[in-house]
Every structure is written in C-alpha cells, then in structure tokens.
C-alpha cells in the first residue's frame, strides 16, 4: 500500500516550518501541524500572528524557507479579501474564466460552471454582478472558480 492510499496519512502535514520577511522578526518558527483527511479545521490566532502566511505557503504562493510540507493533492486558496481574486464582472463569467483560458469547448464550460455553482449553492446567482454579492457569496464564487 502506498502512503497516499493509507487512510491514516494526514491530508496536510507541516513540520518545523519557518518563514520570515527580510528585516522582520520571524513570522513562523518551528510551526508543525497535521490535518487528518476529510476534516474541517480552523486556524485561530491574533492579527499578524502568521495564519495567512502559513496558508499561502501551503498553497504555494510563498516559498518554503525551512521545514517540510506534505500535501495530499492541490491546495485551493481563497484570499482574505475575495475582491483580489475575482477578475470578471459577473459570477458566471468569473467561474468560466479559467476554463475558457484552458480552451475547453463551450458546452463543457457551461456544464462545469453549473456544477461549480451548484456545489457552492449559488446556482441562482450566475448572472449576478460581482459587486452585488455579499462578502461570503464572493468567497463562495472564489471557491467555485478554483
């Protein structure tokens, strides 16, 4: 049995992770954690304590300076401010954006947009302008577009 098919292998394993900005004191020092497969976890901490930094490293948006990360699959990432992630004027267009870039046939783009919106329970908002969404709805659109 490979380690990735072992149900006891954590979905996320972080060992002794270090991260610091130049000229600043370290943001993460010997940060270690394991998230089991299929569980929903929260990272709690004071403002500026390094939560977003940790998640950005997991998503590959910041480099690993020291330590190790093992991930089961790809990490999707919703920015703290989803306005920084939504690029098109409407919900449907935003979700279709990456699919069109990938040159998928139109019929498949439509199907995938429908499926993604259904998965985040926003199927009635496909034509809604992004500016007319609540903050949580914007985060759901960002998840649907991943």
Ligand X SMILES: Nc1ncnc2c1ncn2[C@@H]1O[C@H](COP(=O)(O)OP(=O)(O)OP(=O)(O)O)[C@@H](O)[C@H]1O
Name the site residues for ligand X (rule: CB under 6 A): 21, 24, 27, 45, 47-53, 80
Choose from ligand X, Mg ion, none: what does 47 bind? Cβ within 5-8 Å by kind: ligand X
Q: Which of residues 103-142 bind Mg ion (CB under 5 A)?
A: none
Nearer to ligand X, 64 or 88 (CB): 64
Locus of tokens 């000229």: 23
Distances (CA, A) of 135 to 53, 102, 139, 141: 21, 28, 6, 10
Instruction: Choose the one of ligand X, Mg ion, none that binds residue 45, judging by a C-beta under 5 to 8 angstroms depending on kind.
Output: ligand X
SS3 30: strand
- What is the footprint of Mg ion within residues 20-79 (CB under 5 A)? 51-52
CB atoms closer than 10 angstroms to residue 73: 8
């Amino acid at each position: 049995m490979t380690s990735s098919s072992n149900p006891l292998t954590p979905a996320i394993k972080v060992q002794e992770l270090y991260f610091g900005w130049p000229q600043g004191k370290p943001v993460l020092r010997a940060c270690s954690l394991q998230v089991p497969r299929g569980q929903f976890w929260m990272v709690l901490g004071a403002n500026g304590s390094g939560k977003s930094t940790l998640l950005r490293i997991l998503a590959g948006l910041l480099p690993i300076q020291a330590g190790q990360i093992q991930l089961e699959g790809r990490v999707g990432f919703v920015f703290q401010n989803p306005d920084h992630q939504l690029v098109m004027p409407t919900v449907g267009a935003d979700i279709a954006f990456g699919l069109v870039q990938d040159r998928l046939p139109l019929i498949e783009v439509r199907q995938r947009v429908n499926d993604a919106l259904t998965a985040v329970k926003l199927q009635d908002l496909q034509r809604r302008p992004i500016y007319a969404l609540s903050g949580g709805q914007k985060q759901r659109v960002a998840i649907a577009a991943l």
